[in-house]
Amino acid sequence: CRLFYLGLEPQTQRRLASTISAIKAQTGNKTARAAKEDKTFQAIQEERREQAERSVLISCPPRFSEKKFLDYLSKHGTINKHFFYSSYGAYAVVEFSSKESIASLKENTNIPAVEHEAAVPFKSRLLSLKWPGSQSNNQPVPNFQEQSPPSIGDITQLLSEKDSVDEQLQCLTGALQLTEENISLRFLVCSLLGDIAGAYFPECIIRPFGSTVNSFGKLGCDVDMILDLDGIYATSQKKGSGLSLEYQVKRGASERAVTQSILSVIGKCVDQFGPGCVGVQKILQARCPLVRFSHQPSGFQCDLTANNRVAMKSSELLFLYGQLDPRVRHLVFSVRCWARVHNITSSIPGAWITNFTLTVMVVFFLQQRNPPILPTLDQLKDLAGPSDKCVIEGNDCTIVSDLSKITLQKNTDTLEKLLQEFFEFYGNFPFNKASINIRKGKEQTKPETTALYIQNPFETTLNVSKNVNATQLERFVKLCQESAWLLQKREILNRSSSQSAESVLPWGFAALLLPSVTSGTGVKSRRKRKLEPASSRIKNLLDSLKIKGGETVAKKGST
Ligand code: CTP
Ligand code: MG
């Protein structure tokens, strides 16, 4: 590490040191992750949801005594877990061992009196801690957990220090993946939102889906939520007891109209009464209507949907694929990172490839290996037991939930080989005539003329990548071809040729993240500038390897 730090600004050294310690801390997380491996997706989600219901989010002064804080809260009950983080201010997440502690804590809190304004008298589980003397500068600062991903510059340096491409990809996953704390915070935010929606629908549950739960989430990704009104996990329709509750239900013109009206009132409620919820937008005309807002205390961008059970099932499917072989997650994190750095994906919605599309493409690629690394969706369906049976709006979403029933074939390909082959596979894929189908694990004839056709795993008449236009697909294909070509170069793959007297230069996967590869392909210049010829970009890259590592990295921004 010392050799690696030489020649770097003190600020960069400090940032790197903090990234390295965050990654080390995450190695500890692996134990928790491994312990969950034998549980089903549903059991893991339920456990996290139940923990969130026993938790509170507390806004803290910048300096305070952790001991005094915990002593005070312990008066209301036993604390199971707690951690601190800083977002727009310092916050603590505290999980009690029983829900009664929350009631006791709330009893002792006051609705604040605000000068010249009036407060909405809603006692939420987002509390504020203030006590006399707590701002004193003599107080120690508690250890704040990092909730943002490291910058791409830090990642490049970290990876360049590794000894093999396989180590680089493993390290990348460790640096970017959601921490246990971040996942807890996500579940807590859903639970806090559930308290608000509960004003209309007391039995509702707000559940996270998408990258929060599918094991491919990167620190900083959005929180996709589903308002669950009728029990997503209810195994069967409740049998009548002979007594039925008669009431006059309101009706709407269609499922969609009902979803829109429910989201409209919940959106208004979140906007007017939701503590910390700002910038609420109702996007009710989208294919999947949603309410988008920022939850300021956590810093999360949230998308709340309703009546979206299929999306929860596809999150379970991706989670299952991610658990079957560690190479799946390493490859998905690498491809997503590579795509983001080169503006193949974007945080703005548009005609570009999304992370979900990329993940399905990696799954398909791994089904195509010889022997296959991942089973097809039809094989996962065939292994399902009676309790796994799941039909949503006429779509058969049945998949096996017990991972131990799945037998994998022996494939020992290294990550380096898989990465290289991924780029070759999609650099040469016949996108003009073939579609990607992970249910069959085979290319199929494209049913329509859209640029990229990836069959939705469960809603089989839908195309996951309908939004992608020909230009964006072409950019992806070209970049795959270049990256495949680069990975054949000795200068790129050989770490020792990237050593200088002062530091280690970007090599291997880190070299694929260098901006010189895609000069002229930034979001702003997408429409105006044509791609530079591949040969000149590759020459730039090889030249940049000769520049001092620190200088090259300093030019990069954060993802
Ligand atoms: N989804 C889908 N079809 C799409 C887009 C999204 O079924 N065309 C579902 C997937 O289950 C996806 C979820 O909606 O995981 C959330 O979508 P999105 O936020 O776009 O993707 P994430 O997987 O959450 O990835 P990211 O980290 O970019 O948020
Ligand atoms: Mg998402």
Q: What is the pLDDT of residues 318-351, one digit of tens each?
A: 999 999 999 999 999 999 999 999 999 999 989 9
The per-residue pLDDT for 558 is 36
The per-residue pLDDT for 113 is 79
Q: Which of 356, 358, 363 to mutate to test the pocket of ligand 1 (most atoms within 8 A of CB)?
A: 356
Three state DSSP letters for 282-294: EECCCCCCEEEEE
Q: How close is the Cα of 211 to the center of ligand 2, in Å?
A: 5
Question: What is the pairing mode between strands 79-87 and 55-60?
Answer: unpaired
Q: What is the DSSP string of 35-69?
A: HTTTS-HHHHHHHHHHHHHTEEEEEE-SS--HHHH
Q: Is residue 315 within 6 Å of ligand 1 at its C-beta?
A: yes
Question: What is the pairing mode between strands 144-145 and 126-128?
Answer: unpaired
Q: How close is the Cα of 292 to the center of ligand 1, in Å?
A: 14
Q: Is residue 355 within 6 Å of ligand 1 at its C-beta?
A: yes
Q: What is the pLDDT of residues 187-213, one digit of tens each?
A: 999 999 999 999 999 999 999 999 999
| Ligand sitting nearest the alpha carbon of 220 | 1
- Nearest C-alpha neighbor of 206 from the set 102, 315, 304, 293: 304
Q: What are phi and psi of 274, to 5 degrees?
A: -80, 110
Q: Is residue 339 within 6 Å of ligand 1 at its C-beta?
A: no
Q: How close is the Cα of 465 to the center of ligand 1, in Å?
A: 11
Q: Which amino acid is at 100?
A: E
| CA separation for the pair 91, 84 (Å, rounded) | 6
Q: Which amino acid is at 198?
A: G
- From residue 374, give the alpha-carbon distance in Å to each of 408, 435, 541: 7, 18, 34
Q: How close is the Cα of 307 to the center of ligand 2, in Å?
A: 17
The per-residue pLDDT for 62 is 80
Residues of the chain predicted below pLDDT 50? 1-8, 10-12, 14, 22-35, 516-534, 547-559
Do 431 and 480 form a contact (C-beta atoms < 8 A)?
Answer: no
Do 92 and 84 form a contact (C-beta atoms < 8 A)?
Answer: yes
266 CB-near residues (< 8 Å, 6+ apart): 196, 197, 200, 227, 291, 304, 306
Residue identifier of the C-alpha nearest atom 2 of ligand 1? 311
Q: Is it true that the peptide bond before 371 is cis, omega within 30 degrees of 0? A: yes
Q: Is residue 341 within 6 Å of ligand 1 at its C-beta?
A: no
Q: How many helices (H) and strands (E) does the chain have?
A: 19, 14
Residues above pLDDT 70, as percent of the chain = 80
- Nearest C-alpha neighbor of 329 from the set 300, 290, 366: 366
Question: What is the pairing mode between strands 223-228 and 205-209?
Answer: antiparallel
Q: How close is the Cα of 102 to the center of ligand 1, in Å?
A: 33
